[in-house]
């Protein structure tokens, strides 16, 4: 009888250990799941877009402070420049940017070859959607803007290739606008009609 009691106690002890282990694993899983959900909501480097100013400039809420961000390597036709008429495809580029990123969270990435801010004190950044899509790539590839290569940046060749492909495919502004190239190589569209 004593032997049967000892076996019974061991069996109960193993069940208690097993139940404690399962409870511990459930707690760990719930904790990890909770942390993952919090990280999705508040990911470092993901900032809410508060306004799309035009095709290549946005504002973001950066930890409670509003920052204006100019997208690196992209130039879209003008819509808000003082003393400059709205350019062909400027409104379309602004609308496309709004549709693509307004109200979204974006990741901003600096370029080591570029400065941190431009002469207007705007942050200069690559802008990525939360899914990893590079916004500048979409705008240039779909013909909403030009590769802006007046300043060095790591993706210069990549952006030039996107522009060439859009031009060859007659996409966006390449199909409907007169493109003017200044002596310094900057491309612009003629004023909208």
For 70-116, give the DSSP string.
EETTEEPPPSS-TTSPPBTTHHHHHHHHHHHHTT-EEEEE--TTS-S
Choice among 67, 70, 136, 142 that is catalytic: 70
Exactly one of 51, 122, 137, 158 is catalytic; which is it?
122
Residue-wise pLDDT for 67-95, tens only, equals 999 999 999 999 988 888 889 999 999 99
Residue 60 and residue 26 in one domain: no
Are 94 and 34 in the same domain?
no
Looking at the structure, do residues 62 and 156 belong to the same domain, yes or no? yes
Clarify whether residues 17 and 104 are in a common domain: no
pLDDT tens, position by position, 121-176? 999 999 999 999 999 999 999 999 999 999 899 999 999 999 999 999 999 999 99
User: Do 8 and 28 reside in the same domain of the chain?
Assistant: yes
The yes-or-no answer on residue 137 being catalytic is no
Q: Residue 180's domain spans which residues?
A: 46-189
**Whole-structure pTM value:** 0.76
Assess contact for 126 and 111: CB atoms under 8 A.
yes
Number of domains into which the chain is organized: 2
> The CATH number of the domain where 176 resides is what?
2.40.50.90
Please confirm, yes or no, whether 78 is among the known catalytic residues. yes
Same domain as 69, residue 38: no
Express each pLDDT in 11-23 by its tens digit: 788 888 888 888 8
Q: Which residue has the higher pLDDT, 104 or 38?
A: 104
Count other Cβ atoms within 10 Å, centred on residue 62: 14
Look up 70 and say whether it is catalytic.
yes
């Amino acid at each position: 009888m004593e032997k049967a009691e000892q076996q019974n106690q061991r069996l109960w002890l193993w069940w208690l250990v097993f139940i404690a282990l399962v409870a511990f694993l459930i707690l760990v899983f719930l904790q990890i799941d909770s942390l993952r959900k919090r990280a999705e909501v508040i990911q470092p480097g993901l900032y809410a877009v508060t306004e799309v100013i035009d095709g290549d400039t946005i504002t973001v809420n950066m930890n409670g402070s509003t920052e204006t961000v100019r997208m690196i390597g992209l130039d879209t036709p003008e819509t808000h420049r003082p003393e400059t008429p709205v350019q062909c495809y400027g409104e379309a580029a602004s609308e496309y940017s709004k549709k693509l990123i307004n109200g979204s969270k974006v990741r901003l990435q600096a370029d080591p070859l570029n400065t941190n801010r431009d002469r207007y004190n705007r942050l200069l950044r690559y802008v990525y959607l939360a899914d990893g899509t590079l916004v500048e790539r979409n705008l240039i590839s779909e013909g909403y803007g030009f590769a802006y290569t007046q300043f060095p940046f790591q993706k210069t060749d990549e952006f030039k290739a996107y522009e060439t492909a859009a031009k060859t495919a007659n996409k966006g502004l390449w199909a409907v606008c007169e493109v003017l190239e200044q002596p310094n190589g900057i491309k612009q569209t003629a004023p909208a009609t």
